[in-house]
Each structure stands twice: as structure tokens, then as C-alpha cells.
């Protein structure tokens, strides 16, 4: 046989298949071809009959009895032209694409053929004339094997992959039937090889291009000088700049491909990063600096990008902020989120502080050293309307009186020897539109007190050596670890100033009154201080719970840092707890110190601890006069054989120096119970003195 006759349904398919056949047939084989919908010869020609599809075969059956010639007939198997497919590989996973063909069956077959060759990342939807357009999902893109005119109007882009070609088994059968497979084998396999090589070259080129773009992109990201982390919703990291490693203290570890969950242990940061629902910005204390983390989700690539910025540096780049503010670092790094603790006492302090932050009231913060007064002051500023303005902290205990005056109020040129040329603006002027934090206000002299009163009353300052009055718009937050009321009583602090300062008042509880927060604080400090996961044994926690923590949260933080430094591995054990000398003691005067390695014990006797000036000689200093009075009253009531309830107690205090409402009595009782002086029993017993209280009163 040296003749081949091709029958195809349409002229377009005829042309495509004929040119495909020509590539494989030697010249001496004569090829003729017919499109069924255009023209058919009267007689079935001689030679090998090749029919383009089963559908075309069935159409031809109407004209000729093809069963008779089955020995010289081949029905082609068809497949997609790979050369036309590359564009499809670049479409995002799951994109809806309609596959358009002239009849339903052909549309479905086309989709099957694509899936067979592994193109399964798209959502392919069959479409053919007659199908109700409203019933199919709208797609932006259509694919069609040459049926462009049948593509519906809503589609924006059409990829014509041309008619399907004959697959290689069909070509082999044709060559075989012609008896030329053997001598054409080389040519045939070379053709296929060429196609495969061409495809391979394309892929290699794409891979090179992707690598080049990737490395360019990495260079750009690293050059940004920002800490950038890119990861998918499962947490798998695709980009992490060197700055991220530095910030999170991760050494040289290669982070690409690792999970965010494996490298970040801080729960708050992790849950922030893994919540992809919304674009967010939050501030975290990382490696000792405030870091703002800005996170957003890119739905196109299903990636989350987190950008970490040092708040101080960000401020420095923000031209809106005054240069002065930048140079001096006059900003508050803390927010209410940084105030850790869920005990009722800290919750109450936080709640009140949040409320006061919304007002313009002057605030007095009272609390022992290390309880977090500066933390509260900063958080209040950052939650107030003044947050864009400066936050200036002045510590009176560290400054000499004269210096305090000139620093706070400024001076004119020549006001005193050593005064700078041109004079100097004081801190009140520099804090314009912001907040000034006056720490250790109890240490300030009467002279400065008088000047402060003027600022509070008149909202104006006068520089030293000047008569000119300057209005200032500054909010004052003052703090003290002394009991100012008793300083007022002793005539050391101006009463009028005290009342002016105390328009807003927050008592920050000492740590020993909220030991329930210790665990949480330890976890928090471990998260910010350590790059690794650290376990603390229960014994250590119990031991730490037994201390009095006179240096409060600051002391707890210091001790944890010590323990992290001396511990051998990722566990903190009893052995890592420092010697007693490391712990802060309640006052300079003490009648007995610790006697074993467990540090301070409950019975250490201290006088005049900071914060509660009037402590009682010979007693544990955690009681004030009022509390002692209440204990005495309870003893009296019990001696009468009566039950102690809020009401009885409030009545018994009436007329005394410590008259209290029932509500106040309830709070005092809760405090005394927390400190171990009272036991509350249900039912007939009411409130009872504990053994500790009885010992004290006897």
C-alpha cells in the first residue's frame, strides 16, 4: 500500500492532521484528505483509510459499509497538542476554566485528555453550544481546540490549543499498516525525541528564569534592611531575611521551608502571625526592643507577609514626629498588652488605667519599686489621645534639686553660671502635646513642689530667670513608691499638690499580693528573653511562690535572667535559684535575715518597707495600720462571741479613724485573707483570724 486517505469531520481538523501525517510519511506515499462537512468522493478510495475520530467514523457509515474494509482502516486516537499547553501551566491552582468544543461529548473528552496528560491543577468545566450559559460557573478564561467562535461572551481570554493531534500509537499503527514502520522508526522516534527535548529545554529555561527572578527578589528583600518573613497559612516559610534571624535570635539557621511554629515560641506573637483573617499591626517586645509587626495576607499567592520594624527606628524615620523627640527617644514603648497578669488586682489596676487613659486627668500611680509604674504610665500615654506626641520620663530620685528645676522648667540665657547661651527649653515645653511622667514624686523638694503646683493649676511654665509665662499643653502622670498621704501628714509634701496630682489614682499592687501572676510573668519573660523553649519544674515554681518579692516584677525578671544564664539546658531547676543574697530585702533595717538557702522567708521582720512607711516594729511589714486595726476589731467581735460579717465590722469601725463602707470592708477582708491573716469559713463561722493573726495580736 502506498496510498493514505484521511477523513476528518471539519476542514480545520483535516488540515491539522494531514500536516501531522506528512511529517512521518515518506514522499513516495500519496496522501489525500477529505473534510466530511465539505466534500466526499463518490467511491471509497483505495489505500489505507484513516478516520479522525469515532464520531467521524459513524458519520461515514451512512455513506459506505466500512466493516468490509476493516483490514485497511484505522480510527485515530487523538491527544492534545503539548506545544500549546505551556500557557496553562502558569495559571494558578484551582482557576475555573471552561473547555469549549462543538458537542458535549467532545468537550468532556477534551477535558479527560488534558487530565490524562497530568494537567489537573485547573477546574475545567465543559461548555458546548446549546448549554444554558446561566447554568455554568462563570470563568474568565476559555480553552478550545479550535472552536473559538463557540466561546461564550462572558469570557475575557481565549486560549486556542488547536485541534487535537493523532497520538503516537495511531502513528505507529499507520506506519505499520503501510509496512514502513521499520525503516521509518528512526525518523519517528527522532520526531518524538525532538518534542521531548524541546519541552525539556523550555522547562530548563523556565527554571533558570525562576531562579534568576528568585535570587533577584531575595537580593531586593535583603537589601530592604527590614526583617521580612513570608509564610503560607500552614506556617511554612518561603522567605526570611537575615534581620528576622537576628531579631528572633535564630543564629545562622536556614529558615526556608521550616515552620513558623517550630522557630517562634512566643504564644502571643505566634497566634498573631498565624491569624490570617485580617491585616494587623501590633507591637511586641522582642529581644529587648519594641518591635512593630505588620502582617498582611496575599490571597493570590496564598502567602502571609510579616514585616518587623524596630519602633524606635520607625519613629526615627517618621518625619511627622519632632526631631527632638526622635533624638532623645522620647516615646513610650509599652502598651496595655505588655502589662502581664490575670489576678483580680492587676486586672483592676489595668481596667482603671484604661479608663483614665481616655481622660485628660492628672494621674498618681502608687506602688512599690518594680511593680510596673513606668510601664503603666507608658501604656496610658499610648492609649490616650496624646499618643502621637512625646512621652518624657523624669526620675526625681536621680536628680539634684537645682538640676530638676532647670531641666523641668528650662532657663533663660545668663540665669545662672553655666547656663547655656540662648537659654534652654525645659522638659515641660519639650513634652508639648504629649505626656510627662514624673517618677518618684515623693522625693521632690518643697520649692519644686510649688512650681509643679503652678503648672498643674495654670497649665503654664516660666523659665528660670524669665518673667515670661508660656502656656503648655502637657498631661502629667506622677508615680511614687512612698505613701504620699503620710508624707502630707508629716508636712513633707504639699497637700494641695497631692490633691491636684491625685485627680486620677491607681494603686499598683505588689507582686506578693498577686502571686498568682508569677507563673504567667515567668512564661512571658522566658518568651522575650530566650530564643529557646525553657521548662520550669513545679518545684521551682513552688519555691518562687514562697518568696516575698520586695523588688516585685523587676526582681522576678532579674532572677529569671540569672537562672537562664546559669542553667545548663532547657530546664530551670531548684539548683539554678540564686543564693539568698541575690534577693532584695524589704528595707535597710531588719532584725533578722534569711537563715537558709531558700531566700527570704515569710517571717523576715522588716520595718518601713518602701511603699508602706508606717509599718510596725516586730511585725511582718505587709500590714498597715488600718489593717492591724481591723484585725483587732475582729478579735474584739469574736471575743463577744459574735460572727464577723461585713456589716458588723463596718458598724464597729464607725466613728473610728478607719470608718469604712461595707464595700470597702469587703475589699480589706479579701486583702487580709490573701495575706494569710484571715480565714473565711462558710455558714455559721464567718470570718476567723488565722493562726498567724492570733500570734501577731497576742
**Which residues contribute to the site for ligand ATP (CB under 6 A)?**
338-341, 367, 369-375, 439, 481, 521, 553-554, 557
| Shortest spacing between CB 338 and ligand ATP, in angstroms | 6
Q: Which residues pair with 479 in a beta bridge?
A: 365
- Considering all CA atoms of the chain, what is the largest pairwise distance in Å, rounded to the nearest integer? 131
Contacts of 487 (CB under 8 A, 6+ apart): 442, 493, 613
| Shortest spacing between CB 470 and ligand ATP, in angstroms | 29
Burial of 658 (0-12, 13-18, 19+ CB in 10 A): middle
Q: Which residues pair with 585 in a beta bridge?
A: none
Instruction: Rank residues 15 and 523 by Cβ distance to ligand ATP and give the closer one.
Output: 523
Distance, in Å, from the CA atom of 403 to the CA atom of 371, rounded to the nearest integer, reads 27
- Copy the grid coordinates of residue 244: 528576622
| Shortest spacing between CB 551 and ligand ATP, in angstroms | 8
Distance, in Å, from the CA atom of 296 to the CA atom of 264, rounded to the nearest integer, reads 18
Instruction: Rank residues 147 and 439 by Cβ distance to ligand ATP and give the closer one.
Output: 439
| Shortest spacing between CB 331 and ligand ATP, in angstroms | 15
User: Which residue's CB comes closest to ligand ATP?
Assistant: 372
Instruction: Rank residues 144 and 291 by Cβ distance to ligand ATP and give the closer one.
Output: 291
Instruction: Rank residues 146 and 370 by Cβ distance to ligand ATP and give the closer one.
Output: 370
| Shortest spacing between CB 510 and ligand ATP, in angstroms | 10
- Copy the grid coordinates of residue 50: 484513516
Instruction: Rank residues 389 and 442 by Cβ distance to ligand ATP and give the closer one.
Output: 442
Instruction: Rank residues 349 and 452 by Cβ distance to ligand ATP and give the closer one.
Output: 349
| Shortest spacing between CB 620 and ligand ATP, in angstroms | 22
Alpha-carbon distance values, 307 to 258, 304, 316, 663 (Å) = 18, 10, 17, 49
- Copy the grid coordinates of residue 57: 467514523
Distance, in Å, from the CA atom of 613 to the CA atom of 607, rounded to the nearest integer, reads 8
Tally: H helices and E strands in the chain: 25, 28
| Shortest spacing between CB 445 and ligand ATP, in angstroms | 19
Helix (H) / strand (E) element for 291: namely strand 289-298
- Copy the grid coordinates of residue 519: 507563673
Instruction: Rank residues 557 and 607 by Cβ distance to ligand ATP and give the closer one.
Output: 557
Instruction: Rank residues 198 and 337 by Cβ distance to ligand ATP and give the closer one.
Output: 337
| Shortest spacing between CB 506 and ligand ATP, in angstroms | 11
CB atoms within 10 A of CB 34: 17
| Shortest spacing between CB 349 and ligand ATP, in angstroms | 9
Beta strands in 402-518 (DSSP E): 410-411, 424-425, 435-439, 460-462, 469-471, 475-480, 504-507
Instruction: Rank residues 146 and 611 by Cβ distance to ligand ATP and give the closer one.
Output: 611
Quote the DSSP letter at residue 164.
P
Amino acid at each position: 500500500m502506498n496510498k493514505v486517505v484521511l477523513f476528518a469531520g471539519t476542514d480545520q481538523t483535516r488540515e491539522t492532521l494531514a500536516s501531522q501525517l506528512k511529517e512521518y510519511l515518506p514522499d513516495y506515499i500519496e496522501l489525500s484528505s477529505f473534510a466530511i462537512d465539505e466534500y466526499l468522493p463518490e467511491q471509497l478510495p483505495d489505500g489505507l483509510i484513516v478516520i479522525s475520530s469515532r464520531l467521524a467514523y459513524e458519520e461515514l457509515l451512512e455513506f459506505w459499509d466500512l466493516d468490509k474494509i476493516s483490514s485497511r482502516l484505522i480510527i485515530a486516537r487523538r491527544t492534545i497538542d503539548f506545544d500549546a499547553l505551556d500557557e496553562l501551566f502558569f495559571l494558578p491552582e484551582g482557576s475555573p476554566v471552561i473547555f469549549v468544543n462543538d458537542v458535549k461529548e467532545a468537550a468532556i473528552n477534551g477535558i479527560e485528555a488534558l487530565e490524562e496528560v497530568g494537567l489537573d491543577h485547573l477546574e475545567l468545566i465543559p461548555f458546548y453550544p446549546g448549554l444554558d450559559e446561566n447554568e455554568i460557573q462563570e470563568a474568565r478564561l476559555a480553552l478550545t481546540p479550535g472552536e473559538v467562535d463557540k466561546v461564550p461572551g462572558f469570557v475575557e481570554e481565549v486560549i486556542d490549543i488547536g485541534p487535537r493531534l493523532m497520538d503516537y500509537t495511531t502513528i505507529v499503527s499507520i506506519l505499520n499498516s503501510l509496512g514502513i514502520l521499520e525503516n521509518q522508526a528512526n525518523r519517528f522516534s527522532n520526531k518524538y525525541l525532538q518534542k521531548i527535548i524541546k519541552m525539556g529545554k523550555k522547562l530548563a529555561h523556565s527554571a533558570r528564569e525562576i531562579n534568576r527572578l528568585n535570587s533577584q527578589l531575595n537580593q531586593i528583600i535583603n537589601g530592604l534592611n527590614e526583617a521580612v518573613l513570608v509564610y503560607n497559612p500552614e506556617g511554612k516559610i518561603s522567605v526570611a531575611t537575615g534581620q528576622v534571624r537576628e531579631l528572633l535570635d535564630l543564629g545562622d539557621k536556614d529558615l526556608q521551608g521550616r515552620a513558623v511554629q517550630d522557630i517562634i515560641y512566643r504564644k502571643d506573637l505566634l497566634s498573631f502571625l498565624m491569624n490570617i483573617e485580617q491585616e494587623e499591626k501590633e507591637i511586641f517586645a522582642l529581644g529587648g526592643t519594641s518591635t512593630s509587626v505588620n502582617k498582611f495576607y496575599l490571597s493570590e499567592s496564598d502567602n502571609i507577609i510579616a514585616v518587623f520594624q524596630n519602633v524606635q527606628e520607625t519613629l526615627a524615620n517618621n518625619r511627622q514626629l519632632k526631631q527632638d523627640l526622635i533624638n532623645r527617644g522620647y516615646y513610650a514603648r509599652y502598651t496595655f498588652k505588655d502589662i502581664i497578669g490575670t489576678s483580680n488586682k492587676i486586672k483592676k489596676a489595668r481596667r482603671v488605667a484604661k479608663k483614665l487613659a481616655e481622660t485628660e486627668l492628672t494621674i498618681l500611680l502608687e506602688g512599690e519599686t518594680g511593680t510596673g509604674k513606668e510601664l503603666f504610665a507608658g501604656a496610658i500615654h499610648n492609649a490616650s489621645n496624646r499618643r502621637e506626641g512625646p512621652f518624657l520620663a523624669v526620675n526625681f530620685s536621680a536628680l539634684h534639686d537645682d538640676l530638676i528645676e532647670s531641666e523641668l522648667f528650662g532657663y533663660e540665657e545668663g540665669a545662672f553660671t553655666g547656663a547655656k547661651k540662648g537659654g534652654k527649653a525645659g522638659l515641660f515645653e519639650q513634652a508639648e502635646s504629649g505626656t510627662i511622667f514624673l517618677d518618684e514624686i515623693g522625693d521632690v523638694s518643697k520649692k519644686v513642689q510649688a512650681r509643679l503646683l503652678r503648672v498643674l493649676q495654670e497649665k503654664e511654665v516660666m523659665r528660670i530667670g524669665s518673667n515670661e509665662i508660656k502656656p503648655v499643653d502637657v498631661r502629667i502622670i506622677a508615680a511614687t513608691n512612698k505613701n504620699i498621704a503620710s508624707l502630707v501628714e508629716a508636712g513633707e509634701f504639699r497637700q494641695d499638690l497631692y490633691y491636684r496630682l491625685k485627680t486620677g489614682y491607681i494603686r499598683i499592687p505588689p507582686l506578693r499580693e498577686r502571686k498568682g501572676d508569677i507563673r504567667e510573668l515567668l512564661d512571658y519573660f522566658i518568651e522575650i528573653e530566650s530564643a529557646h523553649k525553657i521548662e520550669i519544674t513545679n518545684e521551682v515554681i513552688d519555691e518562687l511562690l514562697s518568696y516575698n518579692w520586695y523588688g516585685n516584677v523587676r526582681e522576678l525578671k532579674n532572677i529569671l535572667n540569672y537562672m537562664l544564664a546559669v542553667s545548663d539546658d532547657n530546664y530551670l531547676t531548684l539548683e539554678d535559684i540564686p543564693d539568698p543574697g541575690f534577693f532584695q530585702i524589704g528595707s535597710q533595717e531588719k532584725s533578722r535575715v534569711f537563715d537558709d538557702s531558700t531566700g527570704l522567708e515569710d517571717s523576715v521582720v522588716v520595718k518601713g518597707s518602701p511603699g508602706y512607711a508606717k509599718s510596725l516594729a516586730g511585725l511582718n511589714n505587709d500590714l498597715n495600720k488600718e489593717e492591724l486595726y481591723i484585725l483587732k476589731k475582729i478579735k474584739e467581735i469574736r471575743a463577744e462571741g459574735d460572727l464577723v460579717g461585713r456589716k458588723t465590722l463596718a458598724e464597729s469601725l464607725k466613728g473610728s479613724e478607719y470608718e469604712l463602707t461595707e464595700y470597702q470592708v469587703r475589699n480589706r477582708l479579701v486583702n487580709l485573707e490573701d495575706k494569710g491573716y484571715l480565714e473565711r469559713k462558710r455558714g455559721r463561722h464567718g470570718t476567723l483570724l488565722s493562726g498567724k493573726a492570733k500570734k501577731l495580736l497576742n
